Amino acid sequence: MFTMEIGLIMLFIVLMVVYDWLKSRRLLSGLHKKAVFITGCDSGFGNALAKSLYTRGVPVFAGCLLKTSATKLQEETGNSLRTVIIDVTDKDSVTRAAQYVKDNLPDDSVLWGLVNNAGVLDYLAPLEFLDKRDFLHLLDVNLFGTLEVTKAFLSMLKWSKGRIVNMTSINADVSIAAFGAYTVSKRAAQAFSDTLRLEQAAWGIKVSAIKPAFYKTNIISSEMVEEKMTRKWNEGSPEVKLEYGEGCLNKGYDAKFTRCLTFLGSTVVDRFMSRAMKFEPKLMQSDQ
């Protein structure tokens, strides 16, 4: 009898694990009525996600900073995907984008997902080479931009009880030399996501964060690393330059780091898809 009870308990546990696994892989129904707004669609993850969702029949509003990027994305998708010009650091631009989405939702559709993907990595140098303006610039896009976009779209998401997916970074957990300002901005964005998740649960909104490792996108490449380090070196004081020595920024950072970059693949896009469109999304996941 005792052995039979243990067997039944084990069977129950196995069935629950299988059920949870199947539920986690199940896509929501009616994707054609669940619109998604994505920032940072000029290139990289945002661009790839917009195309991926569009091919699945999801109504996509792709936020681009540049008109040329928006036009190219529309041409690549047969001019059917809607693009929205948005500067996440400009509150008026964010407000106009939110109103455009609200006014142009397809019939019988709701805004189901918001993907805060826009981000910058403009300064790569030891902290001694950085000043307050450098930190504020990164925070303006990576943190405050996410804040303003989220606030502008929250009322629509409360109505649909939808999803918010924020792009943070592996740097939200791991500090890397020369990435100090970027790390601060991404840890702040992670803390914002964690707090937002707790607060919006009352409205049925699920908030997720994705923390990708290093992929070759327009935000980071070997050429970009070298250019940004050279720029900060040139701006450094004579005293700090003398202490560090000529060529110190590229030595050890450029060659070693850029060899670790991975080409943009489907992994991170799949993570976005999972958070936005699966029945039971994971709240956080690092892609390391």
Contacts of 85 (CB under 8 A, 6+ apart): 63, 64, 65, 66, 67, 70, 93, 97
Would you say 206 and 282 are in contact if contact means Cβ atoms under 8 Å apart? no
CA separation (Å) from 76 to 82, 88, 229, 264? 12, 24, 34, 18
Based on the residue annotation, tell me whether 19 is a catalytic residue of this protein.
no
User: Rounded CA gap, 168 and 188, in Å?
Assistant: 9
Both structure tokens of 40: 């940072």
Q: What is the CA radius of gyration of the chain?
A: 21
Q: Which helix (H) or strand (E) holds 155?
A: helix 146-160
Is residue 271 within 8 Å of residue 107, measured between CB atoms? no
Out of 100, 182, 244, 253, pick the active-site residue.
182
Q: Which residues are catalytic?
A: 182
